[in-house]
Structure 1
Amino acid sequence: MARIEPTEPRTEELDTRYGEPGATATPWREAVALLTAAELFWLTTVRPEGRPHVTPLLAVWADGALYFCTGAEERKSRNLAANPEVVLTTGTNALAGGCDLVVEGTAVRVTDEARLTALAGAWEAKYGADWHFEVRDGGFAGDRGNVAVVHEVAPRTAFGFGKAPYSQTRWRF
């Protein structure tokens, strides 16, 4: 990808109220490695009447942001049209060991053809040939002919929940 990775978050805070003695803040570079490797994310959007909507999806970490795609008529797309604030969550879902991550931000639609082409390559590199996309009409065209819209979520705040030992780290951007 052509863009340069942004600098580290402004703050990296360990909240000792939610950790074990001896726990340390998770470095942002470790969180980025986990975001890069994660296969499944849970996207939380807000329905027009204010109720949350949560759905699993694939996402790619590139150039300091998470990217996801969805059909233009799907519930999450309709939610984003009314309120672009989102949360993306990933992790181990294990009680002991690993780290779960929560990224809060604003979903911004990506329509630039060069950027979409680079992201389509990133999707296929991460998820394999079954996730090959052509860029068409400002989005990703799959083998069924539908065009999915692509969104970028640059972290505004992120949290890491370590579990060996238990810790809670907050990063602010």
Structure 2
Amino acid sequence: MDGRYSEETATATPWSDAVAWLERAELFWLTTVRPDGRPHVTPLLAVWQDNALHFCTGPAERKAKNLATNPHVVLTTGQNTLREGFDLVVEGKAVWERDEARLRRLAAAYEAKYGPDWHFDVRDGAFQHDGDRAVVFRVAPTAAFGFGKGVYSQTRWLF
């Protein structure tokens, strides 16, 4: 826990609690880096599975193009409130997931978490939905930060 950003009564948040937040979070903000060095931020859905966050995107979308030149990303989630909730920042490297057995498990996880509108078939190393193709990326954390509110705290985890 970083005492500079935490109240005296704050305690470090266990990683298991952070994982529970990641599993429940519906919306994440993905930050990638454009080829010219400018940041790009966009909201998206993600699932936590096998000790990593997973998200999908069309291969021609800006975030996929950015990842082709720089795989380092930040995913953030939390509550847009000042005095309650918990915010998380996960840093890592986005790796294209092509293993179809893993992709089938991830497709099932998306549908279980987000409902039948988020049903994906798996074909040719990617998700398929209504004729569109989405590539899937895995982000295993290299570092993560948790920000408690109410009693303000900042916890850092390194992997």
TM-score (norm 1): 0.91
In structure 1, the residue matched to 2:142 is 156
C-alpha distance in structure 1 between counterparts of 2:78 and 2:126, whole Å: 27
Deviation at 1:19, TM superposition (A): 1.0
C-alpha distance in structure 1 between counterparts of 2:118 and 2:33, whole Å: 27
Q: Alignment partner for residue 166 of structure 1, among 149, 152, 158?
A: 152
The percentage of aligned residue pairs carrying the same residue is: 70
C-alpha distance in structure 2 between counterparts of 1:66 and 1:152, whole Å: 6
What does residue range 1-173 of structure 1 map to in structure 2 within 5 Å? Answer: 14-143=1-130, 145-173=131-159
Contact 1:137 1:147 in 2 (8 A): no
Q: SS where residue 153 of structure 2 aligns?
A: strand
Deviation at 1:67, TM superposition (A): 0.1
C-alpha distance in structure 2 between counterparts of 1:20 and 1:61, whole Å: 30
Q: Which digits, 9 at most, give the CA deviation of each residue in 1:81-118, with x for residues without a partner?
A: 00000000000121001110000000000001101001
Deviation at 1:152, TM superposition (A): 0.2
Gaps of at least 5 residues in structure 2 are none
Q: Aligned letter for 1:115?
A: R
Deviation at 1:63, TM superposition (A): 1.3
Q: Aligned letter for 2:106?
A: L
C-alpha distance in structure 2 between counterparts of 1:61 and 1:92, whole Å: 18
Deviation at 1:21, TM superposition (A): 1.2
C-alpha distance in structure 2 between counterparts of 1:152 and 1:141, whole Å: 17
Q: SS where residue 30 of structure 1 aligns?
A: helix
TM-score (norm 2): 0.99
Q: SS where residue 13 of structure 2 aligns?
A: coil
Q: SS where residue 153 of structure 1 aligns?
A: strand
C-alpha distance in structure 1 between counterparts of 2:118 and 2:153, whole Å: 35
C-alpha distance in structure 2 between counterparts of 1:93 and 1:100, whole Å: 9
Gaps of at least 5 residues in structure 1 are 1-13
